[in-house]
Chain A
Amino acid sequence: MEYELSRIQRERFDEISKLAVRLAEVEKSFGPRPALAGANFSLEWGEVHALLGENGAGKSTLMNVLAGFYTADAGILEVDGEAARFETPSAAADAGIGMVHQHFQLVGPLSVLENLRLACARRAGWRSKAEALRAMETLGKELGFRLDPSARVDEMAVSDQQKLEIMKVLLAGARILVLDEPTAVLTEQEAQSALGLARSLARSGRAVVLITHKLRDVLGFSDRVTVMRAGRTIIDGAASEGMTAASLSDAMVGSAPVLEMPPLADGRQFKPDMLKVQALSVPASAHGVALTEIDFAVQGGEIFGVAGIGGNGQAELVEALIGVRALTSGAVLFDGVDMPPSPEARRERGLRYIPADRMGMGLFGELPLNVNISLPRLLGGGAEKKWLVTKSWMNGLARDAISQFEVAGAQVDLPARLLSGGNAQKLMLAREFTGGMEILIAHSPTRGLDIRAVQAVQARLRAAAASGCAVLLISEDLDEIMQLSDRVAVMSHGRMSPAENVAAVDRARIGRLMLEMH
């Protein structure tokens, strides 16, 4: 006999089973390259759903399909149980979907309130500044934080900008929120509070997608998890509870072998004071930090880690070291001799640099890989080619670099901007690690990379130290600093703490130094 539901029961059942979002068999290609090859994803009301995957696994592409930035080539999209197809972000927003991108979409010189009015006035139906202000205050109370409505956005901390972005999509009527790597740009404490905010949004009945590649975000803050790899869904919405870091990372990277960390030899020869910085001071630039009396020395053969929250003078220090920022006082010595002032002369002396912002300070996105790789070899007195730079010479160098550093999906004439984050970083390493590297400055070298790329980059740094190079590692990731460094110092407010052996330091104290040192 068939079991019959009463009408009320059936309606109730339908309501419960209604998913906020269902994406099935979604396909999307950019040119010949498939970014999504049959991806599935389902999101329930009231949950925080982590979407995990390596760089280039298709997480952001899938969510961009949901938010109307891309249209799928094929596949099913349902929102709240109804078939949907969004041609524009604004159509998706009308359906209650809001996305907070990794790169915030705010107007810098305008105030908080102006940004909100610009983005939401029409959708929220505000007719006056007072109405907008009221709506903002009400939402702020619900979310448990307050932003100064008259603060200029480009003068706010990154974490506040992120809060503003979240307010923006909520005030525009979003009930389904997609947060694209919300913790990537935040410090530890800020990340905790951002993740807490995501949870409270879900508890209030909304649905939250958390795009991430940090296992911590998944295990600590999500209800369910979907794992993607190479444009496909590997784990489709399993409960996060009971998942282990090992099972998730297996799903993420597949069966491909994971690079082992080569142990650094115990009998390393340290060469003292290969890079020595004495009482270095630099004035503050427009939005920057002044450096005050910085003293440290890096030995050849060691990794010297500089911990600290971003924006405490790290960028200024790096720029002063590579020679693009003038010092007011102090000295930078290389093997006991004053460094020449120009970046080209420093490079010739063996200084190499991996910038935090690969595409901004490192690579030439519009130029092909072969030019990116060969350029440094064309500079200075020791240039390898003087009068005739041939394509075949450049292609040879590029092919060597691609195979040696395992740059995936690369051809010699591909513009560098088309590489994914991890592969672009490998290209960067390939370029910097050649031709007499003696001092390596690595600024957040693994930021935004997936597990395998992180391990590859870290292994390269250790290999550089093992070969006698002086490595200065500046990172906001404390785990990375502790794992790789021989000695550690902390930067805060443009000053640097005295260096300590990594075995002797205590994480809690480093954390306090990061926050409190003045």
Chain B
Amino acid sequence: MPRLILSPRLAASRRFTFLVLLGGILAGLVVSGGFLLTQGMGLSDLASQFVGYTFGNPAGLDQTLTRSIPLILVGLSVAVCLKVKFWNIGVEGQLWAGAMAATAVSLYHIGPEAVRLWVMCIAALLGGGLWCGVCALARIRLRANEVVTTLLMNYVAYMLAQQLLYGAWRNPQDSFPVSKVFAPGETLALLGFGHVHAGIFFSLGAALFCWWLCGFARVGYMAKAVAANPAAARAVGVPAGAVVLLMATLGGALSGLAGFTIVCGEEHRLTQFVGNDFIFPSIVIAYLARSNPLGVVVAAIAIAALYTAGDSLKAFYQLPGATVLTIEAILLLCVCCAEFWLRYQLGWAKSTKVAP
């Protein structure tokens, strides 16, 4: 009698890996759809909200693309760090650090006015890089677990921003806890499509850079080696500590850049809300993209679309904001579960001859 047997899979091809990922996402979408149906939505509403509004409508598309700009960057941030198995749970802190650094350049008029925007950009990169680099250094030198340190650095950055917004940087005109509005030369230009601003070039450029770095640069291969076997990497002469520090600092800088695109492209000043709700989506995006920088772009746009749809769910169906979070979690869980098939395979046992 034929029997099904489960056995370990020795190696999975790239194509199969991609199919498994796709299957996981599809399963997640089906389960999420079922979840929304139980929340009182009809099937036709699902189609119109998710596909129609998000992609078929200029306002929805505008919102999705604008939101995807920082999401791409924080997704890249987590993905780049994951290349050296450095779990960056601190994209919000790094984003706050970048936003504060850029704002400081504007408030204190640092650098010539003609290149002020670029100085702000570099300041944001440095701020974010520093915020994550410190955690990498703590891991290399003191063996401090980066999950804990990057997580806690989120609060440090947030509290620092609050301190500044309620103190030195408080808007002198109306005393609201927001900074002064940036001068016109200190903001990213709109591209003539709703709120979409020039920050999208920074995001796409960063994705291309990371794609080159991970797939074609020496350091990308060193990172692979450090992630696969740190002891062997050191023995063969890879400067393992420096590679981890470099990748983590770069990851932090990307989150800092996300802060720059928000304050210079969307808010045009530092507000209390620039760095909220990025940690969980950044991890989901990096995971869905399997840490592939170009995949991050696709995943970030998809997650941004989910937020757009979530906004209309909030407005028209009175569903709470947590709905979107729930759907993200369902997607992540389904993809994780699907990865079981990368390690195991199901097959028919060949018939066994039994001794006479």
Which B249-294 residues sit within 8 Å CB-CB of chain A?
none
A24 vs B225: C-alpha distance in the bound complex, in angstroms? 44
Chain B residues with CB below 8 A from A405, complex form: none
**Per-residue B-contact encoding for A104-140, CB less than 8 Å = 1, 0 else:** 0000000000000000000000000000000000000
Which A22-45 residues sit within 8 Å CB-CB of chain B?
24-25, 27, 30-31, 33
B231 at the interface (CB under 8 A from A): yes
8 Å CB contact of A78 from B5, B7, B228, B355? B355
The 3 closest A-B pairs by CB, nearest first: A344-B237, A347-B237, A364-B228
* Contacts known (A31-B9, A31-B10); A385 close to B352, Cβ less than 8 A: no
8 Å CB contact of A343 from B10, B224, B228, B235? B235
Q: Are B11 and A418 within 8 A (Cβ)?
A: yes
Binding site for B on A (CB under 8 A): 24-25, 27, 30-31, 33, 71-76, 78, 83, 85, 322, 324, 342-344, 346-348, 353, 355, 359-367, 371, 374-376, 378-380, 383, 385-390, 414-415, 418
A366 vs B231: C-alpha distance in the bound complex, in angstroms? 14
Shortest beta-carbon distance from A158 to chain B in Å? 21
**Chain B residue nearest in CB terms to A31:** B10
18 A-B pairs with CB atoms under 8 Å apart are A31-B9, A74-B351, A85-B352, A342-B237, A342-B239, A343-B235, A344-B239, A347-B237, A360-B231, A364-B232, A366-B229, A367-B228, A371-B224, A378-B221, A379-B236, A389-B217, A415-B11, A418-B11
**Chain A residue nearest in CB terms to B345:** A31
Q: Are B355 and A361 within 8 A (Cβ)?
A: no
Q: Are A74 and B235 within 8 A (Cβ)?
A: no
Q: Are A76 and B228 within 8 A (Cβ)?
A: no
**Chain B residue nearest in CB terms to A324:** B234
**Chain A residue nearest in CB terms to B13:** A413
Q: Are A73 and B239 within 8 A (Cβ)?
A: no
Chain B residues with CB below 8 A from A74, complex form: 350-353
Q: Are A388 and B216 within 8 A (Cβ)?
A: yes
Shortest beta-carbon distance from B138 to chain A in Å? 21
Secondary structure call for the A interface: mixed
B349 at the interface (CB under 8 A from A): yes
Chain B residues with CB below 8 A from A355, complex form: 232, 235
Shortest beta-carbon distance from B106 to chain A in Å? 35
A389 vs B228: C-alpha distance in the bound complex, in angstroms? 19
A378 vs B231: C-alpha distance in the bound complex, in angstroms? 18
Shortest beta-carbon distance from A234 to chain B in Å? 22
Q: Are B218 and A389 within 8 A (Cβ)?
A: yes
A383 vs B11: C-alpha distance in the bound complex, in angstroms? 31
B222 at the interface (CB under 8 A from A): yes
Given A27-B350, A78-B355, A415-B11, 7 more A-B residue pairs with CB atoms under 8 Å apart are A71-B349, A348-B237, A361-B232, A365-B229, A375-B222, A379-B237, A389-B216
Q: Are A344 and B238 within 8 A (Cβ)?
A: yes
B1 at the interface (CB under 8 A from A): no
* Contacts known (A322-B235, A347-B237); A378 close to B354, Cβ less than 8 A: no
Chain A residues with CB below 8 A from B218, complex form: 378-379, 383, 385-386, 389
Shortest beta-carbon distance from A198 to chain B in Å? 28
Shortest beta-carbon distance from A348 to chain B in Å? 8
Shortest beta-carbon distance from A375 to chain B in Å? 6
Chain A residues with CB below 8 A from B354, complex form: 76, 83
A238 vs B168: C-alpha distance in the bound complex, in angstroms? 91
Q: Are A376 and B353 within 8 A (Cβ)?
A: no
Interface centre among B11, B236, B353 (most CB of A within 10 A): B236
* Contacts known (A71-B349, A73-B349, A74-B352); A375 close to B236, Cβ less than 8 A: yes
A83 vs B216: C-alpha distance in the bound complex, in angstroms? 57
* Contacts known (A75-B353, A378-B218); A347 close to B236, Cβ less than 8 A: yes
A390 vs B5: C-alpha distance in the bound complex, in angstroms? 40
8 Å CB contact of A30 from B10, B224, B234? B10
Chain A residues with CB below 8 A from B229, complex form: 359-360, 363-366
Q: Are A353 and B355 within 8 A (Cβ)?
A: no
8 Å CB contact of A362 from B220, B235, B237, B238? B235
Q: Are B235 and A324 within 8 A (Cβ)?
A: yes
Chain B residues with CB below 8 A from A365, complex form: 228-229
A389 vs B239: C-alpha distance in the bound complex, in angstroms? 18
8 Å CB contact of B231 from A71, A361, A383, A418? A361
Chain A residues with CB below 8 A from B235, complex form: 322, 324, 343, 353, 355, 361-362
**Chain B residue nearest in CB terms to A363:** B232
8 Å CB contact of A378 from B7, B222, B349, B350? B222
Shortest beta-carbon distance from B164 to chain A in Å? 40
Which B183-238 residues sit within 8 Å CB-CB of chain A?
216-218, 220-222, 224-225, 228-229, 231-238
Chain A residues with CB below 8 A from B11, complex form: 31, 414-415, 418
